[in-house]
């Protein structure tokens, strides 16, 4: 057992799977010798050789396209898209090829691969390094979508994703790579080392895909969230004195609907908290599911906390980011009467 931040946990997941399975290959922009701009692949090339972990041209379409060919050959590619904001040149390959290969060939060809990509704001990355495009992938049949919120889950989920027979888009909330973020940007960052979730086994283990985690049990309100917002939401509930059940979804597809349903039926209230833009986002899907399945248990309309329907504005980072204020207003509204 070691203390790890999310980067170290993700790095460890690579090492464990690469050592166990010679078919796992890792490539992407700057991931080889340098070890990635966030250092997630550091040391892999040294340890496993230059044909197991290597740099790719700046071509997300080429990275995903060649990964399809490698998966067809029988390898298990784990590719890094440097920022989720850069994933769009690879979108056609992901949507039209990766996602549908099992279906269109009736499982003659399958695409066991992981597309890792850092996403989300709170790092002054401006509109090209801050986006949360997960809904563009949850909308595509055939993809699994995973978003960890802490080091232990990051390693266990990534190993599970690499070992999964289906393609997984693995979004990493880069704001919390080095420490959890409660939304108070004016306060000093707490490192992961102080948290229990930073205790990460060195060896192989998995966190199964499709299982949410109840971060905090509560009686008054169910909060459905994932990624960075798990920490923002948990802090806000506490600060506002709401006895909230905080559910970290961890996997958006397949979704742990049983945990969601049980919690909302217990609390009678639901708040969905995401970073992404509001309209047609994954929050909308969650609200709909709760409405369809728990309507007669609800004591108040389901509320959403989201980013605004604007591109991510650099200088207005903290007016854009769904932080403590937006949380407070939403909690007040969903808890009223």
**Interacting residues toward another protein by CB under 8 A:** 25, 51-52, 56-57, 59, 61-62, 65-70, 72-75, 77, 89, 92-93, 96-97, 101-110, 141-142, 144, 165-166, 210, 253-255, 257
Q: Please, where are the H alpha helices in 26-168?
A: 44-48, 60-73, 91-92, 101-104, 135-138, 151-163
Pick 23 or 238: Cβ nearer another protein = 23
Q: What is the DSSP string of 268-308?
A: S-EEEE-SS-STT-HHHHHHHHHHHHHGGG-SS--EEE---
How far, in Å, CA of 285 to CA of 180, rounded?
Answer: 26
Pick 47 or 217: Cβ nearer another protein = 47
Pick 11 or 138: Cβ nearer another protein = 138
How far, in Å, CA of 176 to CA of 192, rounded?
Answer: 9
Pick 157 or 232: Cβ nearer another protein = 157
Pick 69 or 241: Cβ nearer another protein = 69
Give the sign of the dihedral formed by CA 184, CA 188, CA 194, CA 197.
positive
Q: Where are the beta strands (DSSP E) in the chain?
A: 2-3, 24-28, 53-55, 76-80, 114-119, 144-146, 168-173, 199-200, 213-216, 221-225, 244-248, 251-253, 270-273, 303-305
What's the start-to-end Cα distance of the chain, in Å? Answer: 47
Q: Whole-number minimum distance, CB 135 to another protein, in Å? A: 15
Q: Whole-number minimum distance, CB 301 to another protein, in Å? A: 23
Q: Whole-number minimum distance, CB 126 to another protein, in Å? A: 24
Q: Whole-number minimum distance, CB 49 to another protein, in Å? A: 10
- Given a contact cutoff of 8 angstroms between Cβ atoms, the answer to whether 333 and 221 are in contact is no
Q: Whole-number minimum distance, CB 300 to another protein, in Å? A: 26
184 a catalytic residue? no
The catalytic residue among 129, 139, 204, 231 is: 129
What residues are labeled active site? Answer: 129
């Amino acid at each position: 057992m070691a203390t790890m931040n999310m980067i170290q946990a993700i790095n460890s997941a690579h090492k464990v799977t690469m050592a166990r399975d010679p078919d796992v290959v890792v490539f992407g922009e700057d991931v080889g010798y340098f070890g990635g701009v966030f250092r997630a692949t550091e040391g892999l090339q040294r340890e496993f050789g230059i044909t197991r972990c290597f740099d790719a041209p700046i071509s997300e379409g080429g990275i995903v396209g060649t990964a399809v060919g490698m998966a067809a050959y029988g390898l298990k590619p784990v590719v890094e898209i440097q920022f989720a904001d850069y994933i769009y040149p690879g979108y056609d390959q992901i949507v039209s090829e990766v996602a549908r290969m099992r279906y269109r060939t009736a499982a003659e060809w399958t695409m066991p691969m992981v597309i890792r990509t850092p996403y989300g704001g709170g790092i002054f990355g401006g509109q090209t390094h801050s986006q949360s495009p997960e809904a563009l992938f949850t909308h595509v049949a055939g993809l699994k979508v995973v978003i960890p919120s802490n080091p232990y889950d990051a390693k266990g989920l990534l190993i599970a994703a690499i070992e999964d027979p289906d393609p997984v888009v693995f979004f990493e909330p880069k704001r919390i790579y080095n420490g959890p973020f409660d939304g108070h940007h004016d306060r000093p960052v707490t490192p992961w080392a102080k948290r229990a979730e930073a205790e990460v086994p060195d060896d192989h283990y998995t966190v199964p895909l499709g299982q949410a985690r109840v971060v905090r049990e509560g009686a008054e309100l169910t909060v459905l969230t994932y990624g960075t917002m798990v920490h923002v939401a948990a802090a806000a509930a506490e600060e506002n004195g709401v006895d909230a059940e905080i559910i970290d979804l961890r996997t958006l597809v397949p979704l742990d609907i049983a945990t969601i349903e049980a919690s909302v039926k217990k609390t009678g209230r639901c708040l969905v908290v995401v970073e992404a833009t509001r309209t047609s986002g994954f929050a909308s899907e969650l609200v709909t599911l709760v409405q369809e399945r728990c309507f007669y248990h609800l004591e108040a309309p389901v509320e959403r906390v989201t980013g605004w329907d604007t591109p991510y504005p650099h200088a207005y980072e903290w007016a854009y980011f769904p932080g403590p204020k937006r949380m407070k207003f939403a909690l007040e509204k969903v808890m009223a009467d």
